[in-house]
């Protein structure tokens, strides 16, 4: 396919309640679809044991985060369950200019900000197979203390109610199926131009 025949790259936002499995879907996409650019957010949350700084998040202090806000360096940002999260603007804009499909994993408030700043972005809602299953996953994952789980459950209700604001819903019944559906929504499953799959570019960010 020549460059002109390729649909323009665009921004896709993946959102959905805490515990729905956004990270698992993203991990699969990271492994299988390296031409899709995954934005690395900045956060003031404490690093979890399995996370790597610079890969899952850039972990920063509140004052460092404030400096990014003051310098207009975040495309969007939000406070979620007591921590700040934001998307570095330059990284995303650079990839879009290069024609790469870009995926953001952000919360509902961030999705709404992206919708108003970039109306052409596609908003995808990752839904649990059922509310009971979501509660089970959130309590069972063992990464958060009781108070954090309680705050995340409260947020989950609000996030579930917002599904209608999104362009598409993907149900995370099986993570592989959900990841495939998301990649096809990104419009890039058939794009993967050979030039983007070479070893030099496969893992660059």
**Binding window for ligand 5GP (CB under 6 A); candidates: 62-70, 105-113, 167-175, 181-189:** 105-113
Binding flag, residue 128, ligand 5GP (CB under 6 A): no
d(CA 132, CA 128): 9
> Of the two residues 27 and 192, which places its CB atom closer to ligand 5GP in the complex?
27
The residue whose Cβ lies closest to ligand 5GP is: 110
Nearer to ligand 5GP, 122 or 196 (CB): 122
112 binding ligand 5GP? (CB under 6 A): no
For the chain, how big is the Rg over CA atoms in Å? Answer: 17
**Residue 59 contacts by C-beta under 8 Å, 6 or more apart in sequence?**
43, 44, 45, 46, 47, 53
User: Please, is 19 exposed, middle or buried when counting C-beta atoms within 10 Å of its C-beta (0-12, 13-18, 19+)?
Assistant: buried
Q: Per-residue contact track with ligand 5GP, 65 to 104, x per CB under 6 A?
A: -----------xxx-x----xxx-----------------
* CA pair distance 92, 107, nearest whole angstrom: 17
Cβ proximity of 184 and 140 under 8 Å: no
Residue 80 C-beta: closest distance to ligand 5GP, Å:
4
Note the residues at the interface with ligand 5GP (CB under 6 A). Answer: 18, 22, 41, 45, 76-78, 80, 85-87, 105-107, 109-110
């Amino acid at each position: 396919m020549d460059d002109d025949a390729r649909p323009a790259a665009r921004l896709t936002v993946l959102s959905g309640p805490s515990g729905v499995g956004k990270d698992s879907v993203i991990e699969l996409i990271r492994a299988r679809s390296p031409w899709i650019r995954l934005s690395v957010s900045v956060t003031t949350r404490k690093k979890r044991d399995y996370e790597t700084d610079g890969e899952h998040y850039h972990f920063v202090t509140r004052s460092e985060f404030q400096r990014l806000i003051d310098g207009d360096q975040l495309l969007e940002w939000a406070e979620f369950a007591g921590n700040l999260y934001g998307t570095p603007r330059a990284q995303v804009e650079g990839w879009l200019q290069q024609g790469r499909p870009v995926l953001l994993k952000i919360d509902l408030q961030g999705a709404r900000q992206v919708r108003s700043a970039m109306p052409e972005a596609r908003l995808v809602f990752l839904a649990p197979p059922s509310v009971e299953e979501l509660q089970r996953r959130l309590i069972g994952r063992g990464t958060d203390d009781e108070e954090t789980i309680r705050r995340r459950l409260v947020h989950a209700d609000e996030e579930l109610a917002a599904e209608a604001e999104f362009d598409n819903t993907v149900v995370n019944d099986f993570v592989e199926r959900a990841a495939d559906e998301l990649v096809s929504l990104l419009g890039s499953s058939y794009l993967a131009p050979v030039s983007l799959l070479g070893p030099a570019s496969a893992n660059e960010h």
